Amino acid sequence: MMVLLGEMLVEANIKVGVIEALHALPAEHLSRPIVLFLSVYDSWLALITRITFNLSVWLFWFAMCYLLFFWKRDSNQLDSR
């Protein structure tokens, strides 16, 4: 799991670098698909998507810690069913 998290962080940093490099280029040197991609990337929709994705990763870790350390069931209750 840590390998996947590390890979996501590396890819996110590469993407941020590419987006910054594209923003630094003059607008007349960019193709239409790149301009549209940058406009979508800078929109509120992309921001909400990034926030939701980041929160889901943190929620996953919180749930894993809760299930590992705090969630306990009485085995007698399971056997009585």
Question: Under 8 Å CB-to-CB from 27, ≥6 apart: which residues?
Answer: 35
Higher per-residue confidence, 3 vs 33: 33
- According to DSSP, residue 33 is labeled H
Give me the pLDDT at residue 57, please: 84
Q: Tell me the residue length of the chain.
A: 81
Residue 48's H or E segment, with its range, is helix 44-65
**pLDDT of 73 above 80:** no
Token pair, residue 10, equals: 């590396």
Least confident of 30-34, 49-53, 56-60, 67-71: 67-71
The predicted model gives 26-46 an average pLDDT of: 91
